[in-house]
């Protein structure tokens, strides 16, 4: 573990003398803060976003975590939200207005798509979805009123990459802001800001917290951008995290490096096993040499994380269900990033966010957790045999 990263995860932003010298910073579980004089109150009100007045705007526990998150993403500042979707929504709303146009990668996270296609259209913001495997598709979709380019690399379920440096360069030429949903990679495997992207969003629910016990989100970027979001969308939409959730996130961050490398190591072994199996048509995982964008993955990501989608050579849904129900060590569940390995079959996805109805029923997303990878592979082998 590099010294900088150890310092960041374990010490940065922690104010031990003001926390009773406790090794673990205390959670400041208070909604508001009181001051001894009018003058003291007035001084705090002048700096409402930097000093504790009211927890929707500033809380010392949240502030500690924000410093760590900003440092992890090589950003000047970061905001913590009550969900990843809230972070993405705040960013999109902050950088668009009625009459504007957005270009977004096709097949983004389902609720990002819903935000753009169902909520923002009501306020006069239009979106074009593009195949992001060719960055020039972003350029071709730009109009005079385009205000924001949205990337999610790799994107949900099909793990297609966008060349983030190329998209950022196209945006800069045209004076357009860029946003990248970096939940898949975590800040340890990809840093979009280093590639020229302006705003980075995370579902902190996934790898960052890493224990499946908190829903939270992150937005990181330049100080002026964060200040703008803080003063408007963050405060008015009010999707602030609870101090206790921020504290749990801080605990999760201490083991971030151990967890993501374990998950990625195991994912690599699982992906290679599955890619060689006759009942698996294709493994969508950018770390495999057979992935059509493997070279780009090597260029812009440090590693590929523990999420992949497999395409089963199954004749019907019943066969897919036999495989899924036959897995003993993969819980059937949404989300990912915790200890436990998960499976998410496309044939079970027809819900209110159901944008995946155009995907084949043979796809099953797997999250490779922190269990013994030999046991996971044996479990997959067994379930494939029953399919
Ligand atoms: C989970 C997820 C989100 C949404 O985050 P929440 O914390 O669930 O609101 C956004 N993008 C991606 C890629 C995700 O996996």
Going from the Cα of 15 to the center of ligand 1, the distance in angstroms, rounded, reads 30
Going from the Cα of 99 to the center of ligand 1, the distance in angstroms, rounded, reads 27
Question: Within this chain, do residues 230 and 157 fall inside the same structural domain, yes or no?
Answer: yes
Question: Within this chain, do residues 270 and 204 fall inside the same structural domain, yes or no?
Answer: no
104: which strand partners? Answer: 129, 150
Going from the Cα of 320 to the center of ligand 1, the distance in angstroms, rounded, reads 25
Question: Within this chain, do residues 339 and 313 fall inside the same structural domain, yes or no?
Answer: yes
Question: Within this chain, do residues 133 and 101 fall inside the same structural domain, yes or no?
Answer: yes
d(CA 303, CA 298): 7
Is the previous residue joined to 280 through a cis bond, with omega within 30 degrees of 0?
A: no
Question: Within this chain, do residues 273 and 193 fall inside the same structural domain, yes or no?
Answer: no
Please list the rounded mean pLDDT of every run of 10 residues in the chain (387 residues): 78 89 95 97 93 95 97 98 98 98 95 96 98 98 98 94 98 98 97 98 98 98 97 95 98 97 98 98 97 97 97 95 98 97 90 67 96 98 96
Q: Is the CB of 215 under 6 A from ligand 1?
A: yes
**Residue nearest to ligand 1 atom 6, measured at CA:** 84
Going from the Cα of 23 to the center of ligand 1, the distance in angstroms, rounded, reads 31
Query: Which of ligand 1's atoms lies nearest the C-alpha of 108?
Result: 13
- Domain end point (choices 198, 231, 253): 253
Q: Is the CB of 181 under 6 A from ligand 1?
A: yes
* pLDDT at site 84: 98
Query: Of 64, 66, 54, 57, which Cα lies nearest the Cα of 30?
Result: 54
d(CA 297, CA 293): 6
Total domains present in the chain: 2
* pLDDT at site 1: 45
Cα Rg, the chain, nearest whole Å? 21
User: Given its phi and psi angles, is residue 118 left (phi above 0), alpha (psi -120 to 50 degrees) or beta?
Assistant: alpha
Question: Within this chain, do residues 133 and 201 fall inside the same structural domain, yes or no?
Answer: yes
Going from the Cα of 141 to the center of ligand 1, the distance in angstroms, rounded, reads 25
The length of the chain in residues reads 387
Going from the Cα of 382 to the center of ligand 1, the distance in angstroms, rounded, reads 31
**Structure tokens of 75?**
């950003």
- Domain end point (choices 253, 283, 307): 253
Query: Which of ligand 1's atoms lies nearest the C-alpha of 183?
Result: 13
d(CA 50, CA 91): 20
Question: Within this chain, do residues 232 and 292 fall inside the same structural domain, yes or no?
Answer: no
Question: Within this chain, do residues 226 and 104 fall inside the same structural domain, yes or no?
Answer: yes
Hey, how many other C-beta atoms are within 10 angstroms of the C-beta on 44?
Answer: 16
Going from the Cα of 326 to the center of ligand 1, the distance in angstroms, rounded, reads 27
Question: Within this chain, do residues 260 and 205 fall inside the same structural domain, yes or no?
Answer: no
Question: Within this chain, do residues 206 and 270 fall inside the same structural domain, yes or no?
Answer: no
Query: Which of ligand 1's atoms lies nearest the C-alpha of 215?
Result: 7
Domain CATH for 329: 3.90.1150.10
- Domain end point (choices 238, 253, 268): 253
Question: Within this chain, do residues 162 and 270 fall inside the same structural domain, yes or no?
Answer: no
Question: Within this chain, do residues 230 and 185 fall inside the same structural domain, yes or no?
Answer: yes
Give me the residue label for tokens 């440090």: 302
Domain CATH for 25: 3.40.640.10
Query: Which of ligand 1's atoms lies nearest the C-alpha of 216?
Result: 7
Q: Is the CB of 205 under 6 A from ligand 1?
A: yes
pTM: 0.96
Residue-number span of the structural domain to which 342 is assigned: 256-386
* pLDDT at site 10: 85
All residues at 6 or more sequence positions from 307 whose CB lies less than 8 Å from its CB, including other chains: 159, 184, 267, 336, 365, 366, 367, 368
Best substitution site from 183, 190, 365 to test ligand 1's pocket, by max atoms within 8 Å of Cβ? 183
């Amino acid at each position: 573990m590099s010294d900088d990263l150890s310092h960041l995860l374990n010490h940065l932003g922690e104010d031990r003398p003001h926390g009773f010298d406790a090794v673990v910073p205390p959670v400041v579980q208070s909604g508001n803060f009181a001051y001894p004089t009018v003058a003291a109150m007035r001084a705090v009100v002048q700096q409402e976003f930097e000093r504790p007045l009211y927890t929707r705007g500033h809380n010392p526990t949240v502030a500690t975590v924000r410093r760590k998150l900003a440092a992890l993403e090589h950003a000047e500042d970061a905001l913590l939200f009550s969900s990843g979707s809230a972070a993405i929504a705040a960013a999109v709303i902050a950088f668009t207005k009625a009459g504007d146009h957005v270009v977004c990668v096709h097949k983004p996270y389902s609720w990002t798509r819903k935000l753009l296609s169902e909520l923002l259209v009501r306020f006069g913001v239009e979106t074009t979805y593009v195949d992001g495997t060719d960055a020039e598709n972003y350029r071709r979709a730009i109009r005079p009123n385009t205000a924001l380019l949205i990337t999610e690399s790799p994107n949900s379920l099909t793990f297609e990459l966008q060349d983030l440096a190329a998209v950022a360069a196209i945006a800069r030429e045209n004076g357009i802001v860029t946003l990248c949903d970096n939940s898949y990679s975590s800040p340890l495997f990809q840093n979009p800001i280093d590639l020229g992207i302006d705003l980075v969003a995370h579902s902190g629910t996934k790898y960052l917290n890493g224990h499946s016990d908190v829903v939270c989100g992150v937005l990181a970027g330049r100080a002026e951008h964060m200040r703008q979001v803080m003063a408007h969308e963050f405060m008015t939409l009010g999707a602030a995290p609870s101090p206790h959730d921020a504290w749990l996130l801080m605990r999760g961050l201490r083991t971030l490096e151990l967890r993501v490398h374990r998950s990625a190591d195991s994912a690599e072994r699982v992906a290679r096993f599955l890619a060689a199996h006759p009942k698996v048509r294709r493994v969508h995982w950018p770390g495999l040499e057979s992935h059509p964008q493997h070279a780009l993955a090597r260029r812009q990501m440090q590693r590929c994380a523990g999420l992949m989608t497999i395409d089963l050579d199954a004749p019907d849904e019943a066969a897919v269900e036999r495989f899924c129900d036959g897995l003993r060590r993969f819980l059937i569940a949404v989300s990912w990033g915790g200890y436990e390995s998960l499976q998410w079959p496309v044939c079970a996805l027809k819900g209110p966010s159901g944008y995946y109805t155009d995907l084949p029923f043979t796809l099953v997303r797997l999250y490779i957790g922190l269990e013994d990878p030999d046991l996971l592979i044996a479990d997959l082998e067994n379930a494939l045999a029953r399919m």
